[in-house]
Each structure stands twice: as structure tokens, then as C-alpha cells.
């Protein structure tokens, strides 16, 4: 994965700062950790009966309760009206909570407090290690850790367990990111934490990935557009992290616990107004104490820039990545563009403020400590003021988040007491649906409180009763009348109707009369709560205690006297426990066991594996061993639950820990063998990417990749504003018919087919580098004007204008790719041609997909014209990068553009004669045409037409599309690896024929299998065959033609590219019928195999004219008519 086998110069770690000898003692770090543990946990040590603050822990708690006592896969399903309780496979927090309960014996109501105390400190250690990798100054480490813990006490972070846990995992990624340039141990850590993060909070993962890509882009720009330098610095880390995250997210769709998850459940914004979101944003920002923290953060950023300029070297990874991780904060400004969403939630989508605050503190403190003479005392006072400021931030954050207030517990003691009675009733009424009646004021906050009350109510039920529980939101009288409550606030009414509909659906699933509870704490100051105080109580209420009653009536269950007695006994027992609860030393044996079990969970797997992860420093071990232990245990638990798919027992907890320990032991014992194995992998990737050391090739690829990323952004963003099938935004599912989609294909590809021959002539007769620059400038201007016109028109323009802008972008992309293919033999000097083609093909596809993903996220947060304008800016960047390409032809073009226009028709005819006069060139063109028609024509079009039905179906159908697409990506990746392995041993024409045969056989075998396995297999084989065949065809064409004719040769490839859509579209438009899908695919596969046989026979007949490897022929090879060029 490294371009070179040596660590880059920037990895040299500066010497320790003066005065760090005392602070560098491990005992100092341990003492700091203990002090922070006491500071955060003192409230809970003083009163172990209280629960964690804020509301959110309730959601994680009932999910953990369900995992413990029912089928774990249920957590990934749909929960509640509007999916407001769904979370998909965001399972790391509840699953690790289950491990804590089963292994350490921690209580269900307590594990969230343990995590809210531990995660900030662990995140501080991880970010401290991140800083320590770059600068071995323990003072910097300690200040980063303190700053992290202080900010974690502020409103954006307290209570949001998924968010702070994923930020911890991402901080661990940063701690291993720079060593990952050369270390396979670090790369495996990046993969591990990336995968765990995907099971924690996918939205934050994607945002973090964008920040890492921004760091890659910055390094690309600051290295003077050296793609080789940027890949060497960021490539291994991006690939490792990305692979882990992609595998984790793909697992969501596969449903490892037996239920397929929906990525739409990764983020569920509340239905509030813009004003509400802005008010909450203001409160969150204020809790950060910006007067203190923001100047220090700006000081850190300024210092990073200053040091980079002073040292005349790229800024270090710690400062650069930390600063770029601020990019998610741009999301808080969505209100400027008129968008409405929870702006404030972007604040806890990044932990960038923490390392930057620590760095700013360190810069200021170090500067003060270096003062001498009479200013020394003043300097020391300044240090005290800065540390006092951090203490102030911590204290004010603690107050703002109400960390220590018993009234701010997510579940207080009276509620737990009432729910213990409900638990006793539910346990004695198996199979019955359970309903909690909830209510709140006539206000928009009904959404939040309905969600909170429901989450809390579920934590008090037996775990196997959660799935049959539901809430009714409204008055008791309306509930008994079997109708939703209607008041004046639209949000209140929406909640009442939604919960009522959900309750009816639950009663259909569980037809027995439900047990209905009325709990005081879930009804505020409403009339419902007043019923509990009414004397005598209404006939329909059966009181259990002061705060809970059972609602009875027609079609409602009435618990037996025995059940009611058991419920009252349970309530009395719980009340007595909280009235005289034991202290921290009240059950010393249990306390010691908890500490011992936590040591096992947090230390043992990571410490055993520390050798593999190359943690050879005591500070790094203390900081990162717990993270490795957690990562290994979480992934082991996810895998074990995937196998068992049963309630998570104590044995399962210990098995998860045992599996994590076994993997750690295997990594430690197998290190020598793994090192040898990965050394071979490193050599492969070093050889694969070695061509990027060619600066001109690197610049050419940089131009292509940036432009294709812009393509993805522009096409996706502008398509959002085009009306397809009467709906804004292109959506396959909304197309009125299959033939409508085929007409769209024809409209997009027929026009450019008529232009391609002229383009090829210009490529051969005009300076290719200038044409590359000017085509990108032209489309930057065209798309920029369209975006500005879209903005001026209120995000609306005639569809014809937007379609024209997309067509211009597509046409310029085809020009760019034709120039690239024509000029590539010149750039790589005739060597490693097939390898260069493969990297170009793979990289272009990846960057275009990334661009589409950026547009997908961007258009969800901002108007599409802003996203399109960003794409236009990237075209401009591509034009600038193109200036770094040395030359793209063997001889300089000196004629003027006007002169070439007059010669273009003659040159087209000459080019056609040249291509068809060279059998090898014609073979490459024919092979590509056949590949293109079969895979992108028949297979892809048929799949798209089928997707129209799949995407309008259930989530499981959408999963088929996603998994099939992922299999296609894997097939293309394997094709690239095969090309690299075989390029020096197998002639390109044999690779072409083999790829065609594999594609044809795959279509015949799997074209008739309309299942997830069939779709996945055909996309896998198809992508593998097309990728390998395409780069082989490119190589054959480049070898067969002299430089003067390559532009026209590859303009014919463009025509073939378009015909690959047009001809199948015409055929399908004539014969398409939903009942003929299998016949169409299998028939196309049979015809394609016949064509493959013909291509093979043709290739063997001209074998003497085909190159035996991927080198280029001499550029002055005679032309088809015998004349030398």
C-alpha cells in the first residue's frame, strides 16, 4: 500500500521538549486519569443509585435490554411511528452495555453512566496519543486530554452516547493514522476501528471520511499536484479506514443478526422549525464558552500554518487533520441557505475542537514557560490563568448539561419504582401487548417528550416484552374512546395520530386485550396525571401505587389480584432499596468484581495484541490498549451474535471476551508470519502504484480524478432539479415506464455520438494539453453559469437548460478520457501501459462515485445550485492540475485552431482508414464494443429497468440493489489486481478474450437467477470481465496506433461507448417485457459468447501483429498504408 518502502521524512519525531522529563513519567499519566475519573464520577460515587444525566441514555438502555432477553436482530428493525425509535445496526453502545452487564455485573440502569464517564477520558487519551505520535511532549498529551474531557462536559456531547462513542473510535483512528503510512499493525487498527465506527454512527463516519478526503486533497494541492506524494501520505490510511467502514455499512444491508437494517435509520431529525433549531444551536455554542475556547483554537490553527511556513515543509498530520475535521461545522450554517434541519447536531459530529483546543493551550503554555528573568513570575501566573480557564469551561459545561443534578437523570428513582411494578405485571402476562399512556402539553415539544417517555417506559419492562410494547399519546378519555387526541399544535396532533396508528398495528400483531399503564412521570402536569390523585379513583383505574395505575375497560386486560399484589410488592421493595441504598463500599465484593472485570475487558486483549499494533511506548500503551480491547471485543460480540442470533447470555459475554483475547493472542504469536505475508502485499501495492512516481502521469491522473469527482457532483446535483416523470429529481422508481428510461438513455448518448469523430481529429491535430485545460475551463464556466442561473431562479430552471449543462459536462468528460487514452503511451513512455490503464479506469470510477456521494449529502443540506457550483470549481481545479502535465504527444502541435477546423473532415476519413487498416487496432475496438454492449448495455440496462421495480418495493428490495452494486465494485477491484499480476505474463489480447468469455458465461449462468445471489453474481462477474477487458482493449489500441492517430482511435472508442448504450436501448425498447427479463439476458449472453469466439479466432489469425506484453511499439511505426509518421 505504500508507494515507497521507506517512511517519509515527515515521520521523524522531534525530540522531547525541555522540562518534560518529570511529566514524562507514566505515573503522571495514571494520576491524571485517576483525577479525571474522580472528577467525572464523584456524583455517582457519592450516590450510586442515580442514573446518567439527560434523556438519550434511555434509548440505548432498552435496546440493550432487548439484546439481553430477546432476538438481538429485532433492534435493527422498524420501531415506532415515523421510525422515530429505529436505529438500524447502531449497536455498539447497547451491545457493549450488554457485555458490561454480563461480564462485569453492571446494572441495566448504570452502564450508561459508566460509558458517559469513561468515553470522554478514553477519547482524551486517544487524541493525546494522536498528538504524541507527532511531538513527544507529555505536556501536549496532558493538555489535549484535559481539553477533551472539558469539552465533553458541554451540552453538545453529554448524553449522546452514540455520538461520543463514535468520536472516540474516530479519535483512535487518528492515533493510528500516521503510523499507518508504513505499518500493517496500524493499518489493521484503522480497519478495525473503521468497522466498529460503522456499527456506531454511520452519519458521523461519512462526515469523518469527507474530512480525511479533504486532507488528501490538501496534500495533493500543497505538493504541487503530486498525486504520488498525496497517495504515499494518505493512501494507506484512507484505504484501511474506508475498507473497514464500507464493510461495516455493507453489513447493515446484509443483516448479520437476521434482520436487514436501513441506513435511513442512521439519522432521524426531529420535525421542528428553523427557529427552534437556531435557538438550540445558540445554546450549544454558548455552552462551549467561545470567548475562552475559540481564541485558543484559532491560535492552534495559526501556529500549524506558521510552523509549516517556517520549517518549509508540509504541516504535520496532527495539526492538519485536526483543522480539517472542523469541516463538519459548516453544516451548522445551513440556515444561511434557507434549509431547515438540526444544525446543532453537526457540532457533535466532530471532535476537532478538542485536539485544537489542547494544541492552542500547549502553544500558549509553552511560550509562557519559556519566559526567563523578571517575566517568569508573570508567565507562571499566565499558565495558572489558562489552566483555570479550562477548569471554568469544565465547571460551566457541567452546569449547562446539569451533570450533577438528580432531577436531570434520564430515569429517576420514583420512575424506576413505578416501572418495577409494571415489570412485575408484564412478566405475569406473557404474550399480551403492553401500552403506556403518555401525554404532554399542546406544543411542538410533544415530539421530544413522546420519544423520551416511550424510551424510558421500555427500559422498565422485561426484555422479551419490549417488542409487544407501545405508547398511546393523548388523553385517557380519548384512549378509552379509541381515537387519537386532537389539540391545536400540529406536531402534537401528528404524534397522537402516529402513535394511535402504531398501537392499532401492534394490537393486530398481538390480538389479546392489552395491559395498559398510566404512569405519573410520563404525563407531566396534564389531566392524565391528575387522575392518579383523584379520590375515589375513576372506575377504569386500578391503582398499584402513588405513581402508577392500570387502565381497564372493554377489550382491555384487568390483572388478577395475585398479579397486583406481586406488582405492589415489587414497587415496595424497589422504593425501600432507594430509600436506604448501599454506598460505594456497601457491597465491597461486587465493587471489586466490577473493577476486576473492567480490567479484563479494557486491558487484556489490547495488551496482548500491543506487539502487533506496535505500541512500544508506555504512554501509547496506556492510551491505546483500552481502545484496542474495546474494538476487538465489540467486533467479536457482533460476530458471535451473528452466529447465535439468540438472547445475549452471560456465557455469550465471556465468549465475546474470549474471542477477542484469542484474536489478540493470534496477532501477537503470528506477527513474524503476518509481517512476511503483508510484506508481499506491500510489494504488490508498491509496484501497482509505482507509476505515480512519474510526475506527468500523476498530474494526468489528478486531472482525470478531480474532473470525474466533479462529474459525480454536477450530474447528481443538477439532476435533483430536473423533472423526471413529473417529479423533481431523477429517480428510477418514479419513471413512468421502462421505455421512458430507454428514451432518456437515447437522449443522453445519441448527440455526442455524432460529435465524437470531430473530437478525435482535434485531439490528434491540436495540442492535447491545451485542449485538456480549455475543455475543463469551458465546462467550469458552463456549469457555473447554470448553477448561478438556478440560484437566481429560486432553485428552478427550464429542464432543457439543466439537461444541456449535464450534456456539456458529459461531452467534456468524454473528451478528457479520449485525450487521456491517446496521450497515456507518451506519458508512461511505453512501459506499464496496461497497469496505467487499470489505475486510470479504477480511480476514475472511485472518484466519480465519491463525487456522487458528496452531492447526495450536499443536496440534503443545501440548495442544489451550491453543490453544482462546487462541482464547477472542481473543474477549474482540474484545469489547473492539467498544467502540470508535461506533454501528451510525441511531437508538438504548431498549427492554429482555425487551420485544423478546415482539415477536420479529411482527418476523420484518414483516421478511419488508419484504424481499420491496422487489424490489431480494429480488434481492440471490436472487443471493447462487444464488452460495452453486453455489460453496460444489456446487463446494466436490464438491471436498471429491474431496479425500477425493486426500488419501489420494500427495503429488502433496495438491499438487493445495494449488495449487487457492492459485488460489482469487488469484481472491478479483483479485475485490477488480476491485470497487475498478469500483465507481464499474458498478452493483452488473451486477457481481452478471457475477460469476454468470463462475462458471457456469467451472463448465461446467472442471467436467469432473479434473486439476490443471482443479481450479485452477475454484477460481480460482469464488472470483473468488463474492467479487465476494457484496460486490455485500451492497451491493444494504444500499441497498435502511432501517436498521430490515437486521438481519432479513441474517439471511435467514444462512439463505441455511446453505441453500447444506444443499440441495446433500441433493442430493449422493441422487445422489452417484464416477463422476458431472463430470456433477454441469457440470449444476449449466448450471442456475446459467439462474438467472443469470433474475436478469439480473429486474434489468433493476426497474432504476429499483436504485442506479447503491455509495452508500446515505437512511436514512428509505419502506418497502415506503409507510410512512416
pLDDT at 770: 86
- The more confident residue out of 1046 and 978 is 978
861 pLDDT band, cuts 50/70/90, is low
pLDDT at 60: 94
3-state secondary structure of 582: coil
pLDDT at 903: 53
Looking at the predicted structure, is the pLDDT value of residue 706 above 50?
Answer: yes
Q: Which three cell numbers stand for residue 1005?
A: 449462468
Q: Which three cell numbers stand for residue 911?
A: 483516421
Helix H segments across 342-445? 353-369, 376-400, 413-427
Beta bridge pairs of residue 437: 472, 518
1119 pLDDT band, cuts 50/70/90, is very low
**Interatomic CA distance for residues 597 and 604, integer angstroms:** 10
The DSSP symbol for 634 reads H
Looking at the predicted structure, is the pLDDT value of residue 725 above 50?
Answer: no
The DSSP symbol for 343 reads G
pLDDT at 747: 63
- Cβ atoms of 99 and 284 within 8 Å: the answer is no
- Cβ atoms of 900 and 1047 within 8 Å: the answer is no
**Interatomic CA distance for residues 562 and 570, integer angstroms:** 12
Helix (H) or strand (E) holding 1083: helix 1077-1101
Looking at the predicted structure, is the pLDDT value of residue 162 above 90?
Answer: yes
pLDDT at 265: 64
Looking at the predicted structure, is the pLDDT value of residue 1117 above 90?
Answer: no
Max CA pair span of the chain: 111
pLDDT at 927: 84
Question: DSSP string covering 708-736, please?
Answer: HHHHHHHHHHHHTTSEETTEES--GGG-S
Taking residues 193-211, report their average pLDDT: 92
Looking at the predicted structure, is the pLDDT value of residue 411 above 60?
Answer: yes
- The more confident residue out of 181 and 10 is 181
pLDDT at 948: 54
Taking residues 94-116, report their average pLDDT: 94
- Cβ atoms of 882 and 699 within 8 Å: the answer is yes
1108 pLDDT band, cuts 50/70/90, is low
Class in CATH terms, 694-1105: mainly alpha
Looking at the predicted structure, is the pLDDT value of residue 199 above 80?
Answer: yes
Question: Each residue of 521-532: b (16+ CB within 10 Å) or e?
Answer: bbbeebebbebb
pLDDT tens-digit map of 13-52: 454 555 567 788 889 999 999 999 999 988 888 888 888 8
For residue 23, the Cα-to-chain-centroid distance in whole angstroms is 38
Q: Which three cell numbers stand for residue 604?
A: 487484556
Domain ranges in the chain? 9-269+388-402+597-681, 413-579, 694-1105
599 pLDDT band, cuts 50/70/90, is very high
Minimum mean pLDDT range among 3-7, 173-177, 534-538, 921-925: 3-7
Taking residues 153-177, report their average pLDDT: 94
User: Residue 425's closest CA among 500, 505, 518, 507?
Assistant: 518
- Cβ atoms of 860 and 263 within 8 Å: the answer is no
Question: 1075: how many CB neighbours lie within 10 A of its CB?
Answer: 6
pLDDT tens-digit map of 426-463: 999 888 999 999 999 899 899 999 999 999 999 999 98
Looking at the predicted structure, is the pLDDT value of residue 726 above 50?
Answer: no
- Cβ atoms of 865 and 787 within 8 Å: the answer is yes
pLDDT at 307: 87
pLDDT at 18: 54
Q: Give me the phi and psi of 474, to 5 degrees please.
A: 155, -165
354 pLDDT band, cuts 50/70/90, is very high
pLDDT at 1121: 42
pLDDT at 194: 96
618 pLDDT band, cuts 50/70/90, is very high
Instruction: Find which of 104-113, 751-760, 842-851, 1017-1026 is predicted with most confidence, using mean pLDDT.
Output: 104-113
Minimum mean pLDDT range among 378-392, 693-707, 850-864: 850-864
Taking residues 998-1015, report their average pLDDT: 80
Asked whether the CA dihedral 554, 557, 562, 563 is positive or negative, the reply is negative
Helix H segments across 401-518? 413-427, 446-459, 476-480, 490-509
Q: Give me the phi and psi of 83, to 5 degrees please.
A: 55, 30
**Interatomic CA distance for residues 532 and 543, integer angstroms:** 8
**Interatomic CA distance for residues 209 and 709, integer angstroms:** 15
Q: Which three cell numbers stand for residue 721?
A: 432539479
Cell 392489552 -> residue: 514
Angle at 854 between CA 853 and CA 857, to 5 degrees: 85
Taking residues 683-694, report their average pLDDT: 80
pLDDT at 174: 96
3-state secondary structure of 56: coil
Cell 448501599 -> residue: 582
733 pLDDT band, cuts 50/70/90, is very low
Angle at 949 between CA 948 and CA 952, to 5 degrees: 90
Question: Each residue of 833-843: b (16+ CB within 10 Å) or e?
Answer: bbbbbbbbbbb
**Interatomic CA distance for residues 97 and 52, integer angstroms:** 14
Q: Which three cell numbers stand for residue 805?
A: 449543462
- Cβ atoms of 947 and 1012 within 8 Å: the answer is no
Taking residues 673-678, report their average pLDDT: 89
Taking residues 504-529, report their average pLDDT: 92
pLDDT at 311: 80
Terminal C-alpha separation, the chain: 41
Taking residues 248-274, report their average pLDDT: 81
Beta bridge pairs of residue 438: 473
- The more confident residue out of 492 and 843 is 492
Taking residues 176-195, report their average pLDDT: 94
Classify burial at 989, counting beta carbons within 10 Å of its beta carbon; exposed 0-12, middle 13-18, buried 19 or more. Answer: buried
pLDDT at 1051: 64
4 pLDDT band, cuts 50/70/90, is very low
The DSSP symbol for 1075 reads G
Asked whether the CA dihedral 220, 223, 225, 229 is positive or negative, the reply is negative
For residue 512, the Cα-to-chain-centroid distance in whole angstroms is 43
* Residues 6 or more apart in contact with residue 290 via CB below 8 angstroms: none
Helix (H) or strand (E) holding 549: strand 548-551
Percent of the chain with pLDDT over 70: 85
469 pLDDT band, cuts 50/70/90, is very high
Minimum mean pLDDT range among 472-486, 611-625, 696-710, 972-986: 972-986
Asked whether the CA dihedral 420, 424, 427, 431 is positive or negative, the reply is negative
Q: What is the dihedral of CA 820, 821, 825, 826, to 10 degrees?
A: -30
- Give how far Cα 224 sits from Cα of 490, 700, 910, Å: 56, 13, 39
Minimum mean pLDDT range among 671-680, 850-859, 1079-1088, 1094-1103: 850-859
pLDDT at 284: 92
Looking at the predicted structure, is the pLDDT value of residue 732 above 50?
Answer: no
pLDDT tens-digit map of 477-511: 999 999 999 999 999 999 999 999 999 998 888 98
3-state secondary structure of 1100: helix
**Interatomic CA distance for residues 1117 and 920, integer angstroms:** 13
pLDDT at 829: 64
pLDDT at 388: 93
Entry field: residues in the chain = 1125
Cell 402513535 -> residue: 499
Taking residues 394-407, report their average pLDDT: 83
**Interatomic CA distance for residues 429 and 767, integer angstroms:** 83
User: Residue 353's closest CA among 393, 304, 293?
Assistant: 293
pLDDT at 1043: 64
What's the pTM? 0.84
Determine what percent of the chain falls in helix, strand and coil, rounding each to the nearest 5.
75, 5, 25
What average pLDDT does the structure give for the chain?
A: 83
Question: DSSP string covering 83-111, please?
Answer: GTT--TT--HHHHHHHHIIIII---TTTH
pLDDT at 632: 97
**Interatomic CA distance for residues 91 and 97, integer angstroms:** 10
User: Residue 181's closest CA among 136, 140, 241, 227?
Assistant: 241
User: Residue 1056's closest CA among 764, 749, 808, 834?
Assistant: 749
424 pLDDT band, cuts 50/70/90, is very high
**Interatomic CA distance for residues 973 and 338, integer angstroms:** 41
Minimum mean pLDDT range among 511-525, 725-739, 810-824: 725-739
pLDDT at 816: 83
- The more confident residue out of 316 and 645 is 645
Looking at the predicted structure, is the pLDDT value of residue 1104 above 60?
Answer: yes
896 pLDDT band, cuts 50/70/90, is low
pLDDT at 1052: 67
3-state secondary structure string, 638-693?
Answer: HHHHHHHCCCCCHHHHHHHHHHHHHHHHHHHHCHHHHHHHHHHHHHHHHHHHHHHH
φ/ψ region of 763 (left if φ > 0, alpha if ψ in -120 to 50, else beta) reads alpha
User: Residue 890's closest CA among 732, 691, 1112?
Assistant: 1112
Amino acid at each position: 500500500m505504500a508507494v515507497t518502502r521507506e517512511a517519509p521524512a515527515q515521520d521523524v519525531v522531534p525530540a522531547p521538549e525541555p522540562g518534560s522529563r518529570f511529566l514524562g513519567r507514566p505515573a503522571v499519566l495514571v494520576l491524571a486519569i485517576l483525577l479525571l475519573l474522580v472528577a467525572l464520577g464523584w456524583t455517582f460515587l457519592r450516590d450510586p443509585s442515580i442514573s446518567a444525566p439527560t434523556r438519550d441514555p434511555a434509548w440505548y438502555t432498552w435496546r440493550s435490554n432487548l439484546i439481553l432477553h430477546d432476538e438481538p436482530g429485532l433492534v435493527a428493525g422498524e420501531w415506532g411511528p415515523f421510525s422515530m425509535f429505529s436505529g438500524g445496526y447502531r449497536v455498539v453502545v447497547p451491545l457493549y452495555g450488554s457485555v458490561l452487564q454480563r461480564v462485569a455485573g453492571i446494572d441495566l440502569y448504570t452502564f450508561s453512566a459508566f460509558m458517559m464517564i469513561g468515553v470522554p477520558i478514553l477519547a482524551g487519551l486517544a487524541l493525546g496519543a494522536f498528538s504524541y505520535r507527532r511531538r513527544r511532549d507529555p505536556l501536549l498529551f496532558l493538555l489535549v486530554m484535559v481539553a477533551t474531557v472539558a469539552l465533553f462536559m458541554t451540552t453538545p456531547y453529554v448524553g449522546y452516547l452514540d455520538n461520543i462513542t463514535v468520536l472516540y473510535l474516530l479519535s483512535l483512528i487518528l492515533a493510528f493514522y500516521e503510523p499507518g503510512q508504513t505499518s500493517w499493525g496500524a493499518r489493521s487498527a484503522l480497519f478495525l476501528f473503521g468497522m466498529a465506527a460503522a456499527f456506531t454512527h454511520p452519519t458521523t463516519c461519512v462526515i469523518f471520511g469527507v474530512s480525511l478526503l479533504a486532507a488528501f486533497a490538501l496534500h495533493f494541492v500543497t505538493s504541487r499536484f503530486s498525486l504520488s506524494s498525496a497517495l504515499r501520505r494518505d493512501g494507506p490510511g484512507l484505504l484501511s479506514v474506508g475498507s473497514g467502514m464500507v464493510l461495516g455499512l455493507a453489513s447493515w444491508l446484509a443483516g448479520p443478526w437476521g434482520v436487514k437494517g436501513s441506513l435511513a435509520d442512521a439519522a432521524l431529525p426531529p420535525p421542528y422549525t428553523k427557529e427552534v433549531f437556531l435557538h438550540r444551536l445558540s445554546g450549544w455554542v454558548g455552552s462551549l464558552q467561545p470567548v475562552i475556547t475559540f481564541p485558543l483554537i484559532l491560535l492552534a490553527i495559526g501556529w500549524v500554518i506558521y510552523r509549516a511556513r517556517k520549517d518549509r515543509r508540509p504541516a504535520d498530520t496532527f495539526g492538519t487533520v485536526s483543522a480539517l475535521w472542523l469541516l463538519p461545522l459548516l453544516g451548522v450554517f445551513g440556515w444561511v441557505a434557507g434549509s431547515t434541519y438540526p444544525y446543532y447536531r453537526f457540532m457533535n459530529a466532530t471532535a476537532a475542537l478538542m485536539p485544537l483546543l489542547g494544541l492552542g493551550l500547549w502553544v500558549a503554555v509553552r511560550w509562557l514557560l519559556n519566559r526567563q528573568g523578571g517575566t517568569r513570575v508573570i508567565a507562571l501566573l499566565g499558565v495558572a490563568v489558562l489552566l483555570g480557564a479550562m477548569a471554568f469551561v469544565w465547571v460551566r459545561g457541567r452546569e449547562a448539561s446539569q451533570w450533577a443534578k438528580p432531577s436531570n437523570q434520564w430515569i429517576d428513582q420514583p420512575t424506576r419504582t413505578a416501572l418495577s411494578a409494571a415489570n412485575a405485571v408484564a412478566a405475569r402476562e406473557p404474550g399480551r401487548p403492553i401500552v403506556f399512556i403518555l401525554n404532554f402539553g399542546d406544543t411542538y415539544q410533544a415530539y421530544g417528550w413522546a420519544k423520551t417517555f416511550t424510551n424510558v417506559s421500555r427500559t422498565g419492562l422485561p426484555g422479551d416484552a419490549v417488542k409487544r410494547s407501545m405508547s398511546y399519546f393523548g388523553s385517557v378519555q380519548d384512549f378509552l374512546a379509541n381515537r387519537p387526541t386532537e389539540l391545536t399544535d400540529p406536531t402534537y396532533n401528528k404524534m397522537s395520530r402516529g402513535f394511535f396508528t402504531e398501537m392499532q398495528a401492534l394490537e393486530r400483531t398481538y390480538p389479546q386485550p392489552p395491559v395498559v399503564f398510566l404512569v405519573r412521570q410520563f404525563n407531566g402536569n396534564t389531566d392524565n396525571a391528575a387522575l392518579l390523585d383523584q379520590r375515589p379513583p375513576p372506575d377504569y383505574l386500578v391503582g398499584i401505587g402513588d405513581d402508577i395505575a392500570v387502565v381497564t375497560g372493554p377489550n382491555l386486560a384487568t390483572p388478577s389480584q395475585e398479579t397486583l399484589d406481586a406488582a405492589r410488592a415489587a414497587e415496595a421493595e424497589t422504593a425501600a432499596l432507594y430509600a436506604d441504598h448501599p454506598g460505594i463500599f456497601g457491597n465491597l465484593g461486587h465493587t471489586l468484581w466490577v473493577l476486576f472485570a473492567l480490567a479484563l475487558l479494557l486491558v487484556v486483549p489490547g495488551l496482548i495484541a500491543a506487539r502487533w499494533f506496535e505500541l512500544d511506548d508506555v504512554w501509547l500503551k496506556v492510551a491505546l490498549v483500552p481502545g484496542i480491547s474495546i474494538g476487538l471485543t465489540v467486533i467479536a460480540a457482533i460476530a458471535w451474535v451473528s452466529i447465535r442470533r439468540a438472547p445475549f447470555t452471560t456465557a455469550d459475554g465471556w465468549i465475546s471476551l474470549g474471542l477477542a483475547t484469542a484474536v489478540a493472542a493470534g496477532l501477537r504469536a503470528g506477527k513474524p508470519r503476518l509481517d512476511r505475508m503483508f510484506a508481499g502485499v506491500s510489494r504488490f501495492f508498491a509496484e501497482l502504484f509505482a507509476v505515480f512516481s512519474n510526475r506527468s502521469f500523476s498530474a494526468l491522473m489528478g486531472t482525470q480524478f478531480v474532473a470525474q469527482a466533479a462529474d459525480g457532483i454536477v450530474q447528481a446535483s443538477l439532476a435533483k432539479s430536473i423533472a423526471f416523470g413529473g417529479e423533481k429529481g431523477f429517480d428510477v422508481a418514479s419513471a413512468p415506464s421502462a421505455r421512458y428510461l430507454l428514451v432518456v438513455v437515447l437522449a443522453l448518448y445519441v448527440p455526442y455520438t455524432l460529435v465524437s469523430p470531430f473530437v478525435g481529429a482535434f485531439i490528434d491535430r491540436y495540442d492535447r494539453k491545451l485542449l485538456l485545460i480549455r475543455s475543463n475551463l469551458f465546462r467550469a464556466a458552463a456549469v457555473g453559469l447554470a448553477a448561478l442561473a438556478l440560484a437566481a431562479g429560486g432553485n428552478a430552471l427550464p429542464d432543457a437548460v439543466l439537461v444541456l449543462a449535464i450534456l456539456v459536462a458529459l461531452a467534456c468528460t468524454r473528451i478528457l478520457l479520449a485525450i487521456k487514452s491517446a496521450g497515456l503511451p507518451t506519458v508512461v513512455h511505453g512501459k506499464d501501459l496496461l497497469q496505467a490503464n487499470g489505475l486510470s479506469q479504477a480511480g476514475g470510477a472511485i472518484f466519480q462515485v465519491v463525487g456522487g456521494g458528496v452531492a447526495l449529502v450536499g443536496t440534503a443540506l443545501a440548495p442544489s445550485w451550491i453543490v453544482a457550483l462546487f462541482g464547477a470549481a472542481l473543474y477549474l481545479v482540474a484545469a489547473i492540475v492539467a498544467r502540470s502535465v508535461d506533454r501528451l504527444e510525441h511531437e508538438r502541435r504548431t498549427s492554429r485552431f482555425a487551420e485544423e477546423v478546415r482539415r477536420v473532415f479529411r482527418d476523420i476519413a484518414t483516421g478511419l482508414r488508419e484504424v481499420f487498416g491496422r487489424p490489431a487496432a480494429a480488434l481492440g475496438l471490436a472487443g471493447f464494443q462487444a464488452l460495452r454492449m453486453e455489460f453496460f448495455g444489456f446487463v446494466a440496462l436490464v438491471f436498471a429497468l429491474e431496479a425500477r421495480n425493486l426500488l419501489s418495493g420494500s427495503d429488502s428490495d433496495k438491499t438487493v440493489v445495494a449488495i449487487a452494486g457492492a459485488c460489482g465494485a469487488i469484481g472491478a477491484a479483483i479485475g485490477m489486481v488480476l491485470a497487475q499480476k498478469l500483465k507481464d505474463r499474458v498478452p493483452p489480447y488473451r486477457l481481452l478474450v478471457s475477460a469476454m468469455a468470463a462475462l458471457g458465461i456469467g451472463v448465461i449462468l446467472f442471467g436467469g437467477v432473479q434473486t439476490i445471489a443471482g443479481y450479485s453474481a452477475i454484477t460481480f462477474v460482469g464488472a470483473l470481465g468488463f474492467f479487465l477487458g476494457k484496460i486490455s482493449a485500451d492497451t491493444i489500441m494504444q500499441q497498435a496506433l502511432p501517436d498521430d492517430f490515437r486521438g481519432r482511435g479513441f474517439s471511435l472508442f467514444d462512439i463505441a461507448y455511446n453505441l453500447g448504450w444506444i443499440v441495446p436501448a433500441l433493442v430493449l425498447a422493441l422487445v422489452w417485457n417484464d416477463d422476458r427479463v431472463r430470456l433477454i439476458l441469457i440470449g444476449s449472453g449466448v450471442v456475446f459468447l459467439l462474438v467472443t469466439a469470433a474475436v478469439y479466432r480473429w486474434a489468433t489469425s493476426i497474432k504476429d501483429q499483436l504485442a506479447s506484453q503491455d509495452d508500446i511499439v515505437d512511436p514512428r511505426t509505419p502506418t497502415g498504408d506503409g507510410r512512416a509518421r
